[in-house]
């Protein structure tokens, strides 16, 4: 949801006296993108369809006919969806807190919740390895209270926990942005008409925050599906996801056509999931009879 460019391009008031010559400033970027972005993508895509020099769907059929690979795709989508849900549930109250301007602890919370976004996923995953590992924080804690569980390292649950941690700031930002835009007098209007706190939330705040929920969900889902470092470190070979497969096939096995195919399948899968979700939400907007 672009807040910068209104539909149809930049606001016409920004037509500057600089004139068309400034349009030439676009050339370096366009060239750069063409050579280093579009061209390699074309090479990869073409490579995925020509594993042995001739055009064929071999790589794709290889992927989809193998139960293991299908399970990897399914696992990626599943983990991403659960992570998205977790960030939404955990993050919503935080976004509500942040949108209440009178809260004194706001800047501290902003720092603690958002700042980790700027730290590399490697570092954060390492932290989770330490926490979730066999001698880690969590295990020491559960042993201490007499509740011996196995450790969560190299498990799907561990990966989901770590991914939720990594992507929570994105969801919180999207949600807080949406919540802040809600006209404060709407809550008062509902109140004076007889709605108690719960009703105000369910009938006014929540429906009006749906754009933020959608934006946040799409962002987190796509990022989580494409994330490599965290599942690789926290899950390892026990929790293989699509990016891990790309890594393995691309860098270790050096089967580039197949690696490209895997990467493209991942791209299409996330794009499809996003499209379905967006379509469902748009349809729901007009039918949204949340108040019944």
Partner 1 sequence: MQAHLDVRHLRKSYGAFTALDDVSFTAAPGEIVALLGPSGCGKTTLLNLIAGFLTPDAGSVIVGGRDIVNMAPHKRDMAMVFQNYALFPHMSVERNVAFGLKMRNVASDEVGKRVQEALDLVQLGNLGKRYPKELSGGQQQRVALARALVVRPSVLLLDEPLSNLDALLRKRMREEMRQILKAANITTVVVTHDQEEALVSADSIVLLASGKVEQSSTPNELYERPSTIFSARFMDVTNFLDGVVIGHEQGNAVIDTAFGKLRAEVDSCTIGTKVTVAVRPENIAKGEEAGENCVTGEVISSSYHGPVRRIEIEANGARLIADIPVKRCLSKVGDRLSVSWPADDTRLLPGQGHAPVDGKNLEDMLQ
Partner 2 sequence: MMNRVLTAYVAFISALMILPIAIVIAASINSAAYLSFPPTGFSAIWYKEVLTDPTWSGSLWLTLKIGIAVSLLSTALGVAAALGLRAVNNTWSGALQTFFLSPLMLPTVLIGLSLMQLYQSLGIRASVLTVTLGQLLIACPYVIRLVLASFNGIDPRLERAASILGANPIRVFWHVTFPLIRHGVLAGLLFSFIVSLDDVNIALFLSDVHTTPLPVQLFSYIEQNADSLGAAAASLLVLLACGAVFICDRLVGIEWLFGAKQRST
Is the CB of 109 or the CB of 210 nearer to partner 2? Answer: 109
Number of residues interacting with partner 1: please give it, by CB under 8 A.
Answer: 20
Partner touching 108 among partner 2, partner 1, none, CB below 5 to 8 Å by kind: partner 2
121 belongs to the binding site for partner 2 (CB under 8 A): yes
Cα–Cα distance for residue pair 102/169, rounded to 1 Å: 21
Partner touching 234 among partner 1, partner 2, none, CB below 5 to 8 Å by kind: none
Site for partner 2 in 55-84 (CB under 8 A): none
Site for partner 2 in 8-47 (CB under 8 A): 8-10, 12-30, 32-33, 36-37, 39-41, 43-44, 47
Select from 113, 171, 190, 246 the one that contacts partner 1 (CB under 8 A): 190
Got the DSSP string for the chain? --SSS-TTSS-GGG--TT-GGGGGGHHHHHHHHIIIIIHHHHHHHHHHH-TTSS---HHHHHHHH-HHHHHHHHHHHHHHHHHHHHHHHHHHHHHHHHH-TT-TTHHHHHHHHHGGGGS-HHHHHHHHHHHHSTTSHHHHHHHHTT------TTSHHHHHHHHHHHHHHHHHHHHHHHHHTS-HHHHHHHHHTT--HHHHIIIIIHHHTHHHHHHHHHHHHHHHHH--HHIIIIIGGGS--HHHHHHIIIIIS--HHHHHHHHHHHHHHHHHHHHHHHHHHHHHHHH-----
In whole angstroms, the minimum distance from the beta carbon of 233 to partner 2 comes to 6
Is the CB of 135 or the CB of 196 nearer to partner 1? Answer: 196
104 belongs to the binding site for partner 1 (CB under 8 A): no
Partner touching 232 among partner 2, partner 1, none, CB below 5 to 8 Å by kind: partner 2
Partner touching 193 among partner 1, partner 2, none, CB below 5 to 8 Å by kind: partner 1
Partner touching 204 among partner 1, partner 2, none, CB below 5 to 8 Å by kind: partner 1
101 belongs to the binding site for partner 1 (CB under 8 A): no
195 belongs to the binding site for partner 1 (CB under 8 A): yes
218 belongs to the binding site for partner 2 (CB under 8 A): yes
Contact footprint for partner 1 (CB under 8 A): 183, 185-186, 188-196, 199, 203-204, 207-208, 288, 290-291
């Amino acid at each position: 949801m672009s807040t910068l460019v209104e539909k149809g391009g930049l606001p016409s008031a920004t037509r500057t006296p600089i004139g068309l010559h400034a349009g030439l400033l676009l050339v370096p970027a366009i060239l750069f993108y063409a050579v280093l972005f579009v061209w390699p993508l074309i090479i990869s895509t073409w490579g995925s369809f020509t594993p042995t020099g001739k055009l064929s769907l071999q790589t794709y059929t290889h992927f989809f006919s193998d139960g293991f690979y299908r399970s990897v795709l399914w696992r990626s989508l599943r983990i991403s969806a659960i992570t998205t849900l977790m960030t939404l549930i955990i993050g919503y109250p935080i976004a509500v807190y942040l949108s209440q301007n009178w809260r004194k602890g706001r800047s501290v919370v902003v720092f603690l919740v958002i700042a980790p976004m700027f730290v590399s996923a490697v570092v954060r995953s390492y932290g989770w390895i330490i926490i979730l590992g066999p001698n880690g924080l969590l295990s020491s804690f559960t042993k201490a209270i007499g509740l011996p569980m196995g450790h969560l390292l190299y498990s799907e649950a561990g990966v989901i926990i770590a991914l939720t941690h990594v992507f929570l700031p994105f969801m919180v930002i999207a949600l807080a942005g949406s919540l802040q835009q809600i006209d404060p007098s709407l809550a008062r209007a509902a109140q004076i008409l007889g709605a108690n706190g719960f009703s105000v939330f369910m009938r006014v705040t929540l429906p009006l925050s749906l754009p933020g929920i959608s934006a946040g969900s799409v962002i987190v889902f796509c990022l989580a599906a494409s994330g490599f470092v965290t599942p690789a470190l926290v899950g390892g070979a026990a929790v293989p996801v699509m990016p891990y497969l790309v890594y393995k096939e691309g860098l270790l096995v050096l089967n580039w056509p197949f690696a490209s195919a895997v990467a493209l399948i991942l791209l299409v899968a996330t794009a499809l999931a996003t499209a379905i979700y967006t379509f469902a939400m748009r349809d729901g907007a007009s039918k949204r009879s949340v108040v019944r």
